[in-house]
Amino acid sequence: MATADKVGQEVGKVLAKACITKDMLEQDPCHLPRLKSSDFTKGLVVELRKAHGVSSMHLAMQLKYLAPLELVADIEKCNEKSLQNKANSVWEEYQKLSKNAKKHVMADFLKAEFQLPKPRSATKACKLCKRKFDEEEQRESETNMAEKRRADDAEPITVQEPKKAKSDGTTQDDPHWATPLSSFQDFEMIKILNDHPKNKSVFVHGKFKGHEEEAVVILEKTPFSEETLPIALSGETKLKVGLKNDIYGNYHGTPPAQVNGIKVSVVYPATHKHLVKYSQQETYLVQETEDDYKNITLPFLEAEAFRIQWVYNILEHKTESERIVYEDPDKETGFILLPDMKWDLKQVNDLYLIGIVHKHGIRSLRDLAAEHLPLLHNILKKGQQAIQEKFDIPPCKLRIYLHYQPSYYHLHVHFTHLNFDAPGSGVERAHLLTDVIEHLEMMTDYYSKKTLSFCLRENDQLLAEFRKAGRVLEKSV
């Protein structure tokens, strides 16, 4: 609640000054009209950032959506490295609060009397923010110093550092696909890879005109949320009658854009493995013994595993740092807890977070032994605590598990809401963290010895390897 209080006070003050109404907060800010300049003084955002540190920066970003265009330009020029990234996350920050916390924010907001904040040094109420701000400033200045040192140390003839080639053939210099998309203009659909009418999602293979790289796009209709229902059930939703018979009616409804969003995930450039992963295929259950792992799986995944650069980016705070829900930085037992790519953070009943361990070299469940128990206990306990604090969800409403096989071979734990039928939470793939802990407590080499079952798909190369070794039960014996 302490966090919600803090957010409440800050949001309240700033929003009141910016003349942002309760209604506006309940809508997706991208759809709102911008405020008039006079409502919003130039420099306010910067002042707030100085005064309150990181959490005000989040606020600033929310305001960015509402602010007059010239101020937006100003915010963008702020020269704060992480400012742009945070911009995209600020709305999520507010959305992530529990219903109660949101009410809190609102209450503070409605009764707020605006006062320009005192200078940072005089701010007592925001010690935490100030500390974060100081740390961030220090980190930035260290990075700048390091960059400067590198430049100073460079051979005089080297004007620029040589561009490093990445494994996908592009260079470090901003490949075209590094820019976030703003629409699907120029997208050319090649094929529907898979279609899930039940989940209301579709997986599409395509390309962008003029570019060679392939893309996988996943479109998914999102669940309704209590907060947006009043908009969906208002005069703004147009209804076209399909059938009316006595007391029964069917309609085709067209709700306003802000409650009509879909979740869009894009893998671009997508590799052949991604296309296989997202394609519809027959699946087969295999039982992997200790020997199968050593002779078939391990050599295969050493050669073939998915790139895990995205994991290192998260662990090194290069990407998604503003989305981190909790971090324990300990090198042995620490981890980062953050929203899974699959969760849009719009509602907690499909909550999906992942805890990624700081320690390198633990590929999967198979590598776990009793020596990892402190790490696993820590993830379980601190993960539960963080989710309770942040989202008001108790441990008894969480499904906490590891996948075997995972797609990415750097140990991570899935945290999903019990009410959510998350993909991959079935018995052939999910292993409850509490069970894993207990098994290791009983027997340290449990997971290197145990025969583990999992599904493989028709086009999966690993299935071919199991078939080659005669290890797929195609007929009953």
Applying CB under 6 A, the residues found at the interface with ligand M7G are 310, 320, 338-342, 354, 403, 406-408, 424
Comparing CB distances to ligand M7G, the nearer of 39 and 177 is 177
Comparing CB distances to ligand M7G, the nearer of 64 and 431 is 431
- Smallest separation, CB 407 to ligand M7G (Å): 3
Write down the residue that tokens 């995972």 correspond to.
406
Distance CA 275, CA 70 (A): 43
Instruction: Pick the catalytic residue from 52, 58, 412, 417.
Output: 412
Comparing CB distances to ligand M7G, the nearer of 270 and 338 is 338
Number of C-beta neighbours around residue 311 at 10 A? 20
Q: What is the CA angle 150-49-105, rounded to 5? A: 135
Distance CA 266, CA 159 (A): 36
- Smallest separation, CB 112 to ligand M7G (Å): 34
CA-closest candidate to residue 64, choices 81, 54, 50, 44:
44
Comparing CB distances to ligand M7G, the nearer of 220 and 227 is 220
Comparing CB distances to ligand M7G, the nearer of 352 and 466 is 352
Distance CA 286, CA 296 (A): 12
Comparing CB distances to ligand M7G, the nearer of 227 and 320 is 320
Comparing CB distances to ligand M7G, the nearer of 184 and 310 is 310
- Smallest separation, CB 381 to ligand M7G (Å): 21
- Smallest separation, CB 190 to ligand M7G (Å): 21
CB 243 within 8 Å of CB 250:
yes
Is 412 a residue of the active site?
Answer: yes
User: Is omega for the bond preceding 269 within 30 degrees of 0, making it cis?
Assistant: yes
- Smallest separation, CB 403 to ligand M7G (Å): 3
- Smallest separation, CB 85 to ligand M7G (Å): 13
- Smallest separation, CB 358 to ligand M7G (Å): 16
The token duo for 306 is 């998915």
Distance CA 219, CA 279 (A): 14
Q: Which residues are catalytic?
A: 412
